[in-house]
Amino acid sequence: MPKTFDDIPLVRPETPLLDTIDQPFHLRELEPEQLPELANELRAYLLYSVGKSGGHFGAGLGTVELTIALHYVYNTPHDRLVWDVGHQAYPHKILTSRRDLMLHIRQMEGLSAFPKRSESEYDTFGGGHSSTSISAALGMALGSALNGEKRKAVAVIGDGAMTAGMAFEALNHAAHTDADLLVLLNDNNMSISHNVGGLATYFSKIWSSRFYNSIREGGKKVLRSIPSAATFVRKTEEHLKAMVAPGIVFEELGFNYIGPIDGHNLPLLVQTLHNLRCLNGPILLHTITRKGKGFGPAEADPVGYHALNKIEPKTKPQIAVAKPVAKVNPPKLKYQQVFGNWLCDMAEKDSRLVGITPAMCEGSGMVEFANRFANRFHDVAIAEQHAVTLAAGMACEGIKPVVAIYSTFLQRAYDQLIHDVALQGLDVLFGIDRAGLVGEDGPTHAGSFDLTYLRCIPNMLVMTPSDENETRQLLYTGYIHNGPAAVRYPRGTGPGAAIEQAMTALPIGKGLIRRKGHQVAILNFGTLLPAAMDAAEQLDATVVDMRFVKPLDKDLITRLATQHTLLVTLEENTTQGGAGAAVSEHLACMGLLVGVMHLGLPDIFLEHGSHQQQLAAAGLDAAGIQRSIQQRLQQKNNNLSGTAS
């Protein structure tokens, strides 16, 4: 296996055994002793394919053996295999008829980065948000039983996803059913237990065996008539397990807990799964794996190697030729860096500031803050609902919480946002990351709805900066505002605006005219401003940077409506109920008659591709904006001509 980043093969490795596996039933025709070689080839091909396409990396390397064992033992797709999140499902895709298609994963019209029901019958449930697998698999198990079908359901969930409340809600319900459900806990951070060894493996073999379970169940029947003896035996079993395994919490919930076992030991995995497939009721199998398994850098830095960009082939060295020294522009900052820098600067000025994130420290640019202000940083794991109500509780004590959260994940805490923060008018600032389209991660991660679901909430201040400097200044504006506030910004870099270190509160609810033109006024909400300016140059249109969705600059909108024949709203958010709808509501309330056109995300889930490809598909690039406005103007002219004739 390659040991460094430079060793990842750009030429397809030889995989003679893997090449014979087009469907899982081909895998089940192999002899058990062939499986380790298949694992080696699968891991090599995964490294190659992700190097060619880019994509999620470390988690899949850690689930190679698990994937092989599950498809080897279970009769998929008849038996239901549900992957949580999907980062770990790349080996699953390779083994289920999509090996060659992996070279185009996350690209326009290519494979999705996540399990997708419309993509394959083996993808039983779509998984972009975490911690859904147990609920879904339990629903499948109960549904199959109602239909009179004999099938097993398996949920594969990571230790990180297991921290979410939804996972425990599902565990709690499953334990009160007789569903044939296996929850496979893929523990790749040692966050639950370090207890992997001979004794634990020995007991795992015993606890999963038919002999042990037949005695266990038979003993229960015999001892039902002797309650005191039954209680003694149950307590003895629980205490024995608790000495050598961390599973007592799952046993108390009502699961038959097995493990922990080595998730890279294929013979042990196959033997254990064979035993468990013959058992009934809810079972939890705890496996220990290593994220990035088989690739040294990813094993050493599982966070840094969570995903890879496409690896470009190295060019041959060129003979150096002296050239004039050109002025080098400083690299553009990502919006996440702008947020992280502001957070640190604000924390230095105000000791009341506390940063909160639901497991998105690195993605949201909070690493420096976490290091410098460790006692004021809370990563609450994958628990968005808790993150928001935690902030509300802190605000009650005079703390100034800042919640950094992806737009798509804030959807999961909507009730808490309304009931626990806004209803009580609490002073919480939300830094809403990944607003708008997110490129290759596709519709599961797109922030398509936040303007719609935020602006209908009383007491909310909703801001849409157009560049890096406005992001910094509006974060400050929201921070010093008394009440709940949200600043939404996209993934990636901005246009390269100069950032003022001084923090200045911008006037709330006031937009800014960026260009004066005639006939058409483009009301821009957010970071599509450069495209709006380009289109306006061709159309001689007015451009306004609105900055605020709530409250709107109603005076400015009223003035624009009297000076132009067409108002065009522009937002990287669904047009249903979004910022443009707010403009139309104001015009209707004022009785102003003016042409209005809303440009934004269409009423569909836009598939993955590059961000620019997605914007073009939605008509939100400069050419699309110009084209839409020209078509509207032409339609208006045609209507006037028809009226005149």
Q: Cite the active site residues.
A: 291, 384, 412
Name, in order, each residue with C-beta under 8 angstroms of 105's C-beta and a sequence gap of 6 or more.
Answer: 49, 53, 55, 90, 93, 111, 112, 113
- Three-state secondary structure call for residue 231: helix
Among candidate residues 486, 179, 227, 440, the one with its CA nearest the CA of residue 339: 486
Chain center to CA of 629: 34
Does 484 sit behind a cis peptide bond, omega within 30 degrees of 0 on the bond before it? no
| Cα angle, residue 119 at apex, residues 19 and 363 outer, rounded to 5° | 95
Name, in order, each residue with C-beta under 8 angstroms of 297's C-beta and a sequence gap of 6 or more.
Answer: 4, 5, 304, 305
| HEC per residue, 152-165 | CEEEEEECCHHHCH
Q: How many C-beta atoms surround the C-beta of residue 17 within 10 A?
A: 17
Q: Give the amino acid at 606.
A: L
- Three-state secondary structure call for residue 430: strand
- Phi-psi region at 70: left, alpha or beta (left = phi > 0; alpha = psi -120 to 50): alpha
Among candidate residues 623, 618, 614, 613, the one with its CA nearest the CA of residue 598: 618
Among candidate residues 366, 576, 579, the one with its CA nearest the CA of residue 464: 579
- Phi-psi region at 363: left, alpha or beta (left = phi > 0; alpha = psi -120 to 50): alpha
CB 442 within 8 A of CB 607: yes
The greatest distance separating any two alpha carbons of the chain, rounded to the nearest whole angstrom, comes to: 98
| Helix boundaries (H) for 355-467 | 367-372, 384-396, 407-410, 414-416, 450-455
Q: How far, in Å, CA of 417 to CA of 358, rounded?
A: 14
